[in-house]
Amino acid sequence: MAEFPKREYFFKPVLQAIQELGGSGTNDEINSKVIEVLKVSDDLLGIMHKDTNQTEFEYQMAWVRTMLKNQGLLENSQRGVWSISSSGDFTSIKVKWDKQLENLTNQEVNNDEDWKERVINVITENLSPSAFERLIQRVLREKGFT
């Protein structure tokens, strides 16, 4: 039977997988993408981790995500959606977005339509099409869609 690689082997593929998923992904989405990217063999995927109901791959991937989070490269929400951390590639988009939202929250909202129009303006003026796609993917993942 094949020997399972060390966790460090999966660091770059996990980051690549999340990037290819649009900057965020669930555990299952990330695992599937890593399997696809690395062409992980069925032999390795079939190895069960001792004393758990998980495969060795699932167990190691959970540790890899945690280790990348501890290194400040990944963030995760309570919903189990992982994303590149704000110190990653998407910093400039996040900073612009945070500044615009801060400006919105500091202004008094007069009515429902006013705040909606302002949010639409922030999105359309500051996000590229690919950034908008990543935003929508993230919102849907946070709401439990896959």
Residue 91 has a pLDDT of 41
| Measured distance CA(23)–CA(138) in Å, rounded | 8
Which of the pair, 21 or 120, is modelled with greater confidence? 21
- Report CA 60 to chain centroid distance, whole Å: 18
The model's pTM is 0.62
CATH architecture classification, 7-84: Orthogonal Bundle (1.10)
| Position 128 pLDDT exceeds 90 | no
Structure tokens belonging to residue 124: 């359309």
Q: Can you give the residue ranges of every domain in the chain?
A: 7-84, 91-142
Residue 20: HSE in the Cβ half-sphere, 13 Å Cα cutoff:
14
| Measured distance CA(68)–CA(100) in Å, rounded | 29
Task: Report, in angstroms and rounded to the nearest whole number, the Rg of the chain calculated over CA atoms.
Answer: 19
pLDDT in tens, 62-104: 999 999 988 888 998 877 899 988 765 434 334 444 554 455 4
Residue range 2-19: mean pLDDT, rounded = 88
Phi, psi of 82 (to 5 degrees): -100, 145
Pairing assessment for the beta strands 24-26 and 74-76 based on DSSP bridges: unpaired
| Measured distance CA(59)–CA(67) in Å, rounded | 13
pLDDT in tens, 20-75: 998 889 999 999 999 999 999 898 899 999 888 999 999 999 999 999 988 888 99
Residue 57 has a pLDDT of 94
